[in-house]
Structures are given as structure tokens and as C-alpha cells.
Structure 1
Amino acid sequence: MIATVEDCAVIVLQNTSLRVTVLEDDAVLRERILLPRLREQGFDVVGLGTAAALERMLATRLPDIVVLDIGLPDADGFVLAQSLRSRFPAIGVVMLTGRHSPHDKVRGLVEGADAYLTKPVELGLLAATLHSLGRRLQAADDEVVPAISGWRLDGNGWRLLAPCGQPVALTRSERPLLYCLMQHPGEVVGRETLVASLTHDAFSFDMHRLDSLIHRLRRKIAAASTHPFPLSAVHGAGYVFAP
């Protein structure tokens, strides 16, 4: 039996007042264009100019989504995205940058960004991206977490617990991927279905990113637990979680 996209469907976000932090060192772009337009779209938005300012804010207030540039005066945006994903897996990350190369886009998504947009950005596209990501964030919070043969998701799904009890912290991408697989133990979950659990823009999603994500997840679980993770690839079809 093969699980379908509908089997891993997400829940539509009801509250559109998302807390968004825009990290952009160009003050004119930030204060005169991005912040006013996002507020018009109903976002609760804060603007910052440095990574240091973001760190100070994170000590007291966690946004739902961080929109960040790559070329910051005091940090590398790629490194910052990776750090945010590691420390605050519940926060969404959108890169907004002037760097257009496919290599930079792939790197940004691999490092932990949920979306990668380039400047000059159409403000409607930015708002739509934030709303789409917000729906996925809300859906992740509303999911029922399954437990299969000693493997289970804990901490509202942000940790995978091995049968021995060893926890493995999950990233924003790993969490829905594992949830989708563990919803259908013993069934082949198609690649398109897994991609649909990660993004609403499946047509532009690089399938190599899915394979890289699963490869890194396997390595992380293997390093943390003596129990082999029961996930297998099915050639030409997808993946199966078969404890």
C-alpha cells in the first residue's frame, strides 16, 4: 500500500497575525518598504539591522518567522539560519537576499531555510510565502504524534525517541518528514507525498534535497542511538518506515 498526499495533509491556519522579525541591514528597504507593507498584510512585524540585535530579541521574544538577509554586517546569513534551526526548531526561516545563484539557493535551503526569495522581491509573493509557512507551522503544532514499536516523537514532535529512550532533536524539515513516515508504518510513502509534507511548492522542490535530508537524518540518528533506524528506500517509489 502506498500513502498518498492526502494522508499527510496539513491544517489551514486560522490566525493570520503571525509574529515576523525582518533582519535586514538596509534601513531604507527595511523601514520604508518591508515593514509597512507587511503590517498592511496583517503581520505583527519587527525590524532589526544586525544579528546581534536578533540575539538580544530572542532572549525575550520568539517570533514565528524570521526573514533574514545573507549579507549581514556582523554575521553570515547561512550560518545564522543553521544556528536558528538548531536552537529554535519551531521558528520558520525565510531568506531574502540579492544572491540569485542556484548554488546559494540550494545552500540556503540545506542550511535550514524554509524558503529562499531573491531581491527585488514582489511584496505579494513575500506575504504569500509567510502565510504559507505560517499554515505549516500551525499544522505542525496541531498534529497528533504517533508512537511505533518503541520509536516515538516527543516534545510535541520536536524530538525522536529511540527504543532505548535516547532523544534526537529534529529540525523544522525533519519533523513533518518523520511524522508523515511514522503515520504509515510498513507502507511505502511516495516521494511526492514526502515533499508535500515539507512544502506547498512541490513543483520547484529539488528531489535531491529530500534524499540529502533523509541521509543526514539517518546519520544523526545513528550517531545518537545503538538501535538501527528502520527506514528503507524503495527504488522508484519512495521510503518505508518498517520497524
Structure 2
Amino acid sequence: MRTPAPAPDRRRLGRPRVLVVEDDDTIGRHLESGLRSNDYAPTWSRTGAGALAESARSSYDVLLLDLGLPDMDGLDVARTLRARFPELLIVILTARTDDIDVIAGLDAGADDYLVKPFSLTVLLARLRAHLRRRAIADPPQEPIRLGDLVVDITARRCTVHEDEIPLRPKEFELLAVLARNVGAAVSRETLMAEVWDENWFGSTKTLDVTMAGLRRRLTDTASRPPRTPRITTLRGHGYRLEPP
């Protein structure tokens, strides 16, 4: 039995590995060639099942995911891969323009979305912004204790009474910014700059969906302790994490 070849070492190659899941031949070829010519290492899959199989064979940094796949709903692919790979950057590519579809994609675990048709320039700018932020290493920091909630920024852990609350990457980063500024009003612009990118352009709907997910996870603990902070919406400005 022949031993399968090991997956390429991304760190050695120095090229972010991108799994493109797109059934449209024209779009798929455009993305594959555009990414390769911009120093990414793309792999193209035309089906959801193929993407799941490919992700089991190799590791990836980015998932570019079309929602309208021929064999399964792209949202199911997003949920499955988010559960398997919490740090995977997931960007949804969709022709669905209704708010509820975009929100469903972000709620399924996506970090960002682009509505078709979109330009390769915009996609590359979004990828650079996300990957740049992930490459920045923060110096070790003492855990932030807010009543029964502990936010360990260095370990990227959030616990309540030592029970860990599983947060998606952007949910944790959002909580970390609010926790660092507990009791203070934090503007939407500041949150977008800190959690996404200072040069972010386009809709900030992703902030609202991520905030809703964070609130839900903080309140959906099996037995909510009495001393946990809550997030207050400041209409027309941003949010504030209230001390317990």
C-alpha cells in the first residue's frame, strides 16, 4: 500500500493555502488563476463533498465558499469546517443578497462575505486585511477578570466559573476589545478597526452579526452565574461592556 504524500508545509512555502469551493467554471478558474498569480496556493473544488474530503487531506488557511453548491448547502459546509478548524478564515461568496441569507452565512461561522459579482481586487484586499490581523502576535497579557467571566487574551480562552465558552475567532476578538475597555463606550468604527481592519470598506453588518453571536454565547451558558458582564448597545455610536 503506497503511503500518501505529505501535505505541503505552508510555512516553508510562504504562501497562504486557499480552498476554493465554487461550482461555476468561469468563476472558479478566475479565482484559481487570480489567487495563484497573487502568491496564494489555491485548490479548487466544485462540490461541498469534495471540499470536505479535501480539507481532511490537507490543511488550509482560507476557505472561499460559494453557498449555491450542486450537492449540498454551502452553509452546511461552513458549519462543518468551522467546527473542525476553529482558526480557518472563511469567506462566503454568494449571489444571495437578502439580509437573512448574509446573516445566516455569518452565523454559520463565516468571518466575511462578498456578494457576487465582485472584483478580484476587492477579494484580495479583504484577504490581506484578515490575514494581516491574524499574523500580529500580541505580547502575553494577564487574564481580564470581570466577575465570574475570565477573558484570557494570551490563551484565547473565555471561561465562566472555569467552564469554557466556545467562541469563534472574531467573537473572541470582539469580546477582548470590549473587555480591555470595560465600562467605556467603544464606537463601531473602533471595533471594526480593532477586530477587522483599519482600512475596512463596505458593510459593517458583519459586526452586528458577530456581536449577536457573542451575546448569545455569553447568555446561553447552562446556568448563568449572577456576576457576568452584559453588552449594552449605544445607538448611533457602538457598544459598552457593563461591569458586573
TM-score of the pair, normalised by structure 1: 0.78
1:155 is displaced (CA, Å) by 7.9
Provide the secondary structure at the position in 1 that maps to 2:39. coil
Partner of 1:233: 232
Query: What amino acid is the match of 2:99?
Result: P
Letter in 1 for 2:101: D
Over residues 115-164 of structure 1, what are the superposed CA-to-partner deviations in whole Å (9 max), with x where a residue is unaligned?
2112232111111121112122223x54645412361327831x3122x3
**CA deviation string 1:159-184 (max 9, x = no partner):** 3122x311111102211111112223
TM superposition shift of 1:42:
0.8
In structure 1, what is the equivalent of residue 6 of structure 2? Answer: none
The equivalent of 2:64 in structure 1 is 67
1:211 positional shift: 4.7
Q: Which residue of 2 aligns with 1:76?
A: 73
Contact persistence 2:138–2:154 (CA under 8 A): no
C-alpha contact (below 8 Å) 2:106/2:210 kept by paired residues: no
Q: Distance in 1 between matches of 2:201 and 2:230?
A: 22
- In structure 2, the residue matched to 1:110 is 107
**Mind listing any 5+ residue stretches in structure 2 that lack a counterpart?**
1-12
Tell me whether 119-128 or 207-216 shows the greater mean CA deviation.
Answer: 207-216
1:124 aligns with 2:125: no
Deviates more, 1:46-55 or 1:187-196: 187-196
Give, in whole Å, the separation in 2 of the partners of 1:69 and 1:119: 10
Greater alpha carbon shift after TM alignment, 53-62 vs 64-73: 53-62
Shift of 1:195: 3.3
The whole-number CA distance in structure 2 between the counterparts of 1:91 and 1:241 is 31
Change (3 A) 1:120 1:191: closer
What percentage of residue pairs aligned between the two structures are identical?
30
Per the alignment, residue 27 of structure 1 pairs with 25
Residues of 2 paired with 1:145 and 1:241: CA distance? 21
Residue matched to 2:44? 47
- Asked if the contact 2:171–2:210 (Cα under 8 Å) also holds between the matched residues in 1, the reply is no
Instruction: Measure, in 2, the Cα distance between the counterparts of 1:27 and 1:203.
Output: 27
Is the alpha carbon distance of 1:208 and 1:134 closer, same or farther for their aligned partners in structure 2, counting shifts above 3 Å?
A: closer
Distance in 2 (alpha carbons) for counterparts of 1:196 and 1:165: 30
**TM-score under structure 2 length normalisation:** 0.78
Q: 2:155 matched to 1:165?
A: no
Residue 77 of structure 1: how far off its partner (Å)? 1.0
2: CA distance, partners of 1:224 / 1:26: 47
Residue type matched to 1:233 in 2?
Answer: T
Q: Which runs of 4+ in 1 moved over 6 A?
A: none
For residues 100 and 143 of structure 1, do their structure 2 counterparts lie closer, same or farther at Cα, with a shift above 3 Å needed? farther
In structure 2, the CA distance between the partners of 1:168 and 1:98, relative to structure 1 (3 Å rule), is same
One-letter code aligned to 1:169: P
- The two structures, once aligned, show a CA RMSD in angstroms of 2.8
Structure 1: stretches of 5+ with no match in the other structure: 1-14
Give 1:38 shift: 0.8
CA contact (8 A) 2:167 2:214 kept: no
Report the Cα offset of residue 26 of structure 1. 2.3
Structure-1 separation of matches of 2:34 and 2:110: 22
Q: How many residues align?
A: 224
Report whether the alignment pairs 1:215 with 2:211: no
CA distance in 2, matches of 1:72, 1:154: 37
Q: Aligned pair in 2 of structure 1 residues 202, 210: CA closer, same or farther (>3 Å)?
A: farther
Instruction: Pick 1 or 2: higher relative contact order, CA cutoff 8 A, min separation 6.
Output: 1
Partner SS state of residue 89, structure 1? coil
